[in-house]
Amino acid sequence: MARHPKERPPGWGAWSRREFLCRSGGAALGLSSASAILAACSNSTNAAGGSSGAGSEPVGPGGLPLARPDRRVKLPIYADNKPIESGLQPETGGTFNVFNYPDYIYGSLLKEFGKKYNVNVQVTPFDDISSGIARLASGAVTPDVTEMTPDNLDKVVAGKLIQPLNLDYIPNLQKNVWPELVSPFYDVGSQYGVPYTVYKTGLAWRTDQVKEDIPSMPQPFDIFWESQAYAGKVALLSEVRETIAMALLRKGHLDVNTEDPKLVNAAVADLKQLYSICNIKVGDVQYQTIPEDKAWLNQAWSGDMLSATFYYLPNKATGKLLRFWSPPKGKGPIQNDMWSVCKGTKKPVLAHLFLNFMLDNGHAYSNFINFNGYQPPLNEISPTELVSKGLIPETLTNCVMTADELGPTSLQEMTLTIQGDQLWQNGYSDFLAG
Residues at the contact surface with another protein, assessed by CB under 8 A? 1, 3, 7-9, 20, 22-24, 26-27, 29, 31, 35-36, 38-39, 41-50, 61-62, 127-131, 133-134, 137-138, 155-156, 158-159, 161, 231-233, 235, 238, 240, 275, 279-283, 293-294, 418, 421-422, 425-426, 428-434
Least distance from another protein to the Cβ atom of residue 209, Å: 11
Quick count: other Cβ atoms within 10 Å of Cβ 271? 24
> Nearer Cβ to another protein, position 99 or 354?
99
> Nearer Cβ to another protein, position 99 or 431?
431
> Nearer Cβ to another protein, position 54 or 433?
433
Least distance from another protein to the Cβ atom of residue 339, Å: 19
Least distance from another protein to the Cβ atom of residue 102, Å: 15
> How many alpha carbons fall within 13 Å on the CB side of residue 380?
15
> Nearer Cβ to another protein, position 226 or 385?
226
Please report, for residues 35, 98, 104, 198, 199, the alpha-carbon distance to residue 125 in angstroms, rounded to integers and kept in the order given: 39, 8, 9, 20, 21
Give the list of residues 6+ apart from residue 103 with CB closer than 8 angstroms, or none.
371
Closest CA to 425 of 29, 47, 9: 47
Q: 128 near 80, Cβ under 8 Å? A: no
Least distance from another protein to the Cβ atom of residue 14, Å: 12
Using only the alpha carbons of the chain, give its radius of gyration: 23
> Nearer Cβ to another protein, position 38 or 254?
38
Biggest CA pair distance of the chain? 74
> Nearer Cβ to another protein, position 180 or 239?
239
> Nearer Cβ to another protein, position 19 or 57?
19
Least distance from another protein to the Cβ atom of residue 54, Å: 16
Question: First vs last Cα of the chain: how many Å apart?
Answer: 37
CA distance 296 to 288: 11
Which amino acid appears at position 387 of this protein?
A: V
Give the list of residues 6+ apart from residue 361 with CB closer than 8 angstroms, or none.
172, 176, 378, 380
Least distance from another protein to the Cβ atom of residue 360, Å: 32
Quick count: other Cβ atoms within 10 Å of Cβ 102? 10
DSSP H helix total and E strand total for the chain: 16, 10
Least distance from another protein to the Cβ atom of residue 134, Å: 5
Dihedral of the alpha carbons of 96, 97, 100, 102, in degrees to the nearest 10: 100
Least distance from another protein to the Cβ atom of residue 298, Å: 12
Closest CA to 212 of 221, 223, 202: 223
> Nearer Cβ to another protein, position 28 or 79?
28
Least distance from another protein to the Cβ atom of residue 398, Å: 27
DSSP assignments along 7-46, one per residue: GPPTT-SS--HHHHHHHHHHHHHGGGS-HHHHHTT--S--
Least distance from another protein to the Cβ atom of residue 203, Å: 18
> Nearer Cβ to another protein, position 138 or 216?
138
> Nearer Cβ to another protein, position 54 or 390?
54
